[in-house]
Structure 1
Amino acid sequence: MPISVFLADDHPIVRSSVRTEIERMSGFSVVGEASTSDELITFMEHGSCDLLITDFNMPGVHNEDGLSMLDAIVHLKPELSILVLTMLTNSGLLRAIHDRGVAGLVSKSDHMAEMTSALQTIASGQDYVSANVRRVLCSPKGNVMKSPLSMLTEREAEVLRLFVSGRTISEIAAQRGRSVKTVSHQKISAMGKLGLRNDPELYAYAHQNGFFN
């Protein structure tokens, strides 16, 4: 039987390109698509597939934070092979994704041939990291440690990602089961570590450093 693949990305062109590439290959079959994290989680709760190809950050009511979304998927489908397709260029976030045990990491800037190689490698039972992603992950340890983002706790980084994605402090607190005071403190602490004085500086920093793509 062919390997069943589910696609999740909020950009229709990306989904179409990946689907076309998969349909050119033998041994794989696309069984569905999602354009939001909520649609993806709903499928994980009620459907099944052998391999998930997903973007890192997608719009959604409950799971728009990429790491939380991956954690939810792994909780629902611990044996599922996951290939993350992303524009991220931040080593800390890529390492966090990699450490969650995903089967593959491919950059959207890679040639589509990387996708073919990734699918073939994962189908053979091995993990796959594209050359561009590997270059970031294998950057000198000293450079990674000097990055201000490496000083953030996971919850601080999560709060910033959700805030920049459009959530208010109150919404983040309700969504994550924390007090507004705690979330506000985590945001202030994270911005202090990054040397950011206000929200416009935070938005600019996020986009300049490939932190939330």
Structure 2
Amino acid sequence: MIRVIVADDHPVVLAGVKAVLERQEDIRVVGEASNGHELVDLLKRQPCDVIITDFSMPGSDEREATASHRHGDGLPLIALLASRYTQVPVIVQTMVNNVGVLRTLQNKGVLGLADKRSAMGELVHAVRAVMQRKPFMSTSLRERFEQSERESPTETTNQPSPREMEVFRLYVSGLSVTQIAERLSRSVKTVSTQKRQAMKKLGLNHDRDMVSYAREHGII
């Protein structure tokens, strides 16, 4: 039996993932979490074979996240999972299509990258692949990688870095620059610069443009 723990801040998504996976005779969802803090706490007491987690869970308690718990979601959460649960393969569900961020997830040890816009049935294939320690990537994300490889070096260089995109994501999720600095253990000046650089590279002039971009690209 393959034991799976699922984390997502949308109850409908949690229910859908559980329903799809448990149609398989050999897969069982043994735990659910609605944010990064719940996921980490759950993993302390519930063994599992595969972790499926959303990349962005802004529904987390940001006050707690910016205090002693810095693994709320995004790259900090993935880094923690990769370092603490090295034997448990991780599948990240996301609507982010920034190749730099996706490559960073792979470099942190994420075996599965699943596009939330794709059919949920893909998760069954993802679970079976990572259980064999084989990488899995949704077709749409693979096509995005291939597109990036065809782009000129200038176009690729002008994409925001993973650190800049993490600041961007947290800002459009509702955190202030000061809160982001505290959460990521960076200076306010550094975060402000990374926010500004992300906006410049994406051709955005105002904060309201950031929110529009984030919605259009599935970041929030």
Match of 1:84, SS? Answer: strand
1:122 is displaced (CA, Å) by 2.4
TM-score by length of 2: 0.84
Structure 1 partner of 2:2: 3
1:57·1:64 contact (CA, 8 Å) conserved in 2? no
Mapping 1:151-166, distance limit 5 Å: 151-166=159-174
1:68 and 2:67 matched: no
Gaps of 5+ in 1: none
Structure 1 partner of 2:50: 51
* Counterpart-to-counterpart distance in 1, 2:153 and 2:55: 23
Mapping 1:12-27, distance limit 5 Å: 12-27=11-26
2:82·2:109 contact (CA, 8 Å) conserved in 1? no
1:114 and 2:122 matched: yes
Letter in 1 for 2:29: V
- The answer to which of 8-17 and 108-117 deviates more is 108-117
Query: Which whole-Å deviations, capped at 9, do the CAs of 1:71-119 have from their partners, x for residues lacking one?
Result: 1111221221111122233333323223322221222222233222222
1:146 is displaced (CA, Å) by 4.8
Structure 2 partner of 1:183: 191
User: Quick one: structure 1 residues 93 and 181, their matched pair in 2 at CA, closer, same or farther if it must change by over 3 Å?
Assistant: closer
1:32 is displaced (CA, Å) by 0.6
1:201 and 2:203 matched: no
Q: CA RMSD in A?
A: 2.3
Structure 2 partner of 1:103: 111
TM-score by length of 1: 0.86
- The answer to which of 75-84 and 115-124 deviates more is 115-124
Match of 1:32, SS? Answer: strand
- The answer to which of 106-115 and 32-41 deviates more is 106-115
Letter in 1 for 2:88: L
Which of 164, 179, 182 lines up with 1:171 in the alignment? Answer: 179
* Counterpart-to-counterpart distance in 2, 1:148 and 1:13: 36
1:34·1:40 contact (CA, 8 Å) conserved in 2? yes
